[in-house]
Amino acid sequence: MKSLIIKYLPDLNDIDTESAATILEESAQRDVIETLNWPNEYPYKPITYFNIARSKDSIFIKYSVQGSMLRAIYSNDQDPVHEDSCVEFFCMPVGADKYTNFEFNCIGTCSASSRKGRNEEVVPFTVEEMQTIKRFPTLGRRAFNEMEGMFEWELTVVIPFNLMGIDSKHLPEKMFANFYKCADGTDSMHFLSWNPIKTDKPDFHRPEFFGELIFD
């Protein structure tokens, strides 16, 4: 199981998301989403990094991606953004029986819910809850069809702890999580993860394969 320390960066308190992207690049923990769990069926591997840190009440993640295709046809929250050029963050508090999934396409459209499994007790977040998830996509927010070529893009997101089932005033020592890169509906379909997933077929909804995030 992989583990990662989530630094507390005081400068992230009360700051806009675009400015937070710079702080994350300079001071946050950096790691890579590079595990090809199903290399024979899905060998494509776009270069995907993330920088992660926290403020008093939120987790900040900056994704950086380089790849040979780009798609963002979905512009409304709770659309199936995993079909677009997508990055994801799934997490679960220690001892919890449900996890939360946060999925973002490259223009920042988000699908998010709490659930017990892929199709078990799924509770999508409300419009008001979705509005508390801040996003800064370098590509802007306008939707577009799939394009071929070499592309680089970044997405910075800010996710409040309360959406993860965590009390920000009493942070636990750690939580379980995984980070993903996918694009199910594109010509370059791929399924990358941070912590390895040991299943026969692609399945990100497997909390038993989450890694550890340790709070600083």
Tokens of 137: 């996509």
Structure tokens at 214: 């340790």
- pLDDT, tens only, 127-175: 999 999 999 999 999 999 999 999 999 999 999 999 999 999 999 999 9
- CA angle, corner 196, sides to 190 and 197, nearest 5? 75
Using CA atoms, how far residue 100 sits from 26, 68, 86, 93, 97, in Å, is: 28, 29, 16, 9, 11
At 214 the pLDDT is 98
pLDDT in tens, 186-210: 999 999 999 999 999 999 999 999 9
> Where in the sequence is the domain holding 158, given as residue range(s)?
3-215
pTM: 0.97
> CATH number of the domain that 157 lies in?
2.60.40.1190
In the chain, the number of structural domains is: 1
Strand spans (E) along 116-199: 123-124, 134-137, 144-160, 174-182, 191-193
Number of alpha carbons in the 13 Å side-chain half-sphere of residue 154: 16
pLDDT tens figures, 52-101: 999 999 999 999 999 999 999 999 999 999 999 999 999 999 999 999 99
